[in-house]
Structure 1
Amino acid sequence: MQTAAERVRVLVHGASGRMGQALLRLAGERDDLSVVAAVSRTQPAQRVVEGVAHFAAAELGGAPEFDVAIDFSLPEGFDGILGLCERRGAALVSGTTGLEANQREALQAAAARIPVLWAANFSLGVAVLNELVERAAAALPGWDCDIVESHHVHKKDAPSGTALALGASAQRGGAQPRYASLRAGDIVGEHLVQFAAPGERIELVHRATNRDVFARGALHVAARLAGRAPGAYRVRDLLG
């Protein structure tokens, strides 16, 4: 077991959201991480909760030193955490969606100075699926490629960000993907990538049955991104 001095210091940005709460809860399962700060949009009801200092977004600059920030917030909060990571020389792991083009450009520019990772999906299984899809597409030129994604009825965007990322992997392998989206019940997330030719087809499937897999994946990559050389990383770069 690592001592407190050896653990990677983590700041959770967007701590009051569903993902932020899961990160705070699941970080306690790891002995290689220590959450040193939790930042939310609004003033926290308590300044210290289970040993973790809580801050409002307006107080971000007063957060203690950290090695990596994990950001699941809103686009309006993204600039602040990216700027703080650059000033502190800390790594940034972000799953914030809806970023504007200028924010994506700023993230890419920051990669010249700090290690950064943005992903639409932090499931380690999906990271492997992306790799398999790219390899299958390259090995099966001319085959039809279809991506079917299923989510709960409250999900608004379609195709999902994960489906589009899988499509990008297929395109890198030379395929031209088509998309279909289903919204039903309380499905956490299912993604099917099908390659078909006359007389045969291959199906690659990932099913998430619990949202904790995304928080666990974010903690996994955060532990491995801290201390790396500057650059833009992917989840699959940090699987080992």
Structure 2
Amino acid sequence: MLNIGIFGASGRMGRLLVQETKKHPDLCLSSVFVRRSLSPSLIQILPENTFVTNDLEQFLTHCALVIDFSLPQALASLLTALRKHPLPLVCGTTGLSAPVWGDLQELSQHAPVLHSSNMSLGMAVLLKIVSVIAKDLKHADIEIVETHHRYKKDAPSGTALTLGQACALARGWDFEKVRTTHRDTPRQEKEIGLASLRGGNVVGKHTVGFYLDGEYLEVEHVVSERDIFAKGALQVAKWLVLQPPGFYGVENLYH
């Protein structure tokens, strides 16, 4: 039985994780961290013996692995506490600053850490696929289009950036030098374009296109239900707890 702690249980993803954990007999939701008092709706779905607290150190002492879907500032506080009590960490928070990235890397020296902007298992496979295509079709122009619901704040999405990074790495490019989200001149030879669409209640759609003269190849990943991210995060947790200290991505599950 793996005792997991959910950091940010009051959020949308946190609630989905609480619900999904109940379906896994080999998992126990041993603790949840909430910054404010519990809402009635969260109380209704929590297992009876779950430890609930707004004290980070107490939260960490009641679990063997932490799953985080919060905000960058909240994650920074969690990582500060994990310096004293290193635990395996599954992190899905995006929009991280350089200092927070550094803290994640530091924690990975003492415990296994997995960060991914998209916890779906299909995306784990897609990351491997686009790397192979980018390398083999070395003359193809690469364009990435992502579509999300009207309320999504960041653009391009973290997943689109991860896909772009995978393609750039496969070609030996510096992603920050070749990425572009705007064009007012003809396309450059070494360039990875990223476009963002927002509308309706689209959970997530990512298309990576490889364009040659006379032919092109597009690969696409679509998420139709948000709980797929919670399901993926729990599968990741079961895998991660068996790994040695290090920094991992969701694509490592299929190595």
- Give the TM-score normalised by the residue count of structure 2: 0.85
Q: Which stretch of structure 1 is more off in the superposition, 154-163 or 198-207? A: 154-163
| Residue from 64, 74, 80 that aligns with 2:77 | 80
Cross-structure match for 2:149 = 152
> How many Å separate the matches in 1 of 2:230 and 2:131?
25
Deviation digits for residues 133-184 of structure 1, max 9, x if unmatched? 0100000011111111111111122111111110111111227321111112
The CA RMSD measured in Å over matched residues stands at 1.8
Whether 1:18 aligns to 2:12 is yes
Whether 1:34 aligns to 2:28 is yes
C-alpha deviation, 1:198, in angstroms:
1.3
Alignment of 1:124-135 (within 5 A): 124-135=121-132
3-state DSSP class of the match of 1:90?
Answer: coil
C-alpha deviation, 1:21, in angstroms:
0.2
Contact 1:69 1:85 survives alignment (8 Å) = no
Count of residue pairs brought into register by the alignment? 232
Contact 2:239 2:253 survives alignment (8 Å) = yes
Whether 1:234 aligns to 2:231 is no
> How many Å separate the matches in 1 of 2:78 and 2:57?
9
| Residue from 181, 193, 200 that aligns with 2:196 | 181
Contact 1:150 1:190 survives alignment (8 Å) = yes
- Report runs of 4+ in structure 1 exceeding 6 Å deviation: none
> How many Å separate the matches in 1 of 2:204 and 2:115?
19
Amino acid aligned to 1:36: S
Which blocks of at least 5 consecutive residues in structure 2 are unaligned? 172-189
> How many Å separate the matches in 2 of 1:83 and 1:34?
25
> How many Å separate the matches in 1 of 2:149 and 2:169?
29
Contact 1:67 1:227 survives alignment (8 Å) = no
- Give the TM-score normalised by the residue count of structure 1: 0.90
Which blocks of at least 5 consecutive residues in structure 1 are unaligned? 1-6
Deviation digits for residues 81-109 of structure 1, max 9, x if unmatched? 22443433320111122322111111111
| Residue from 218, 229, 233 that aligns with 1:203 | 218
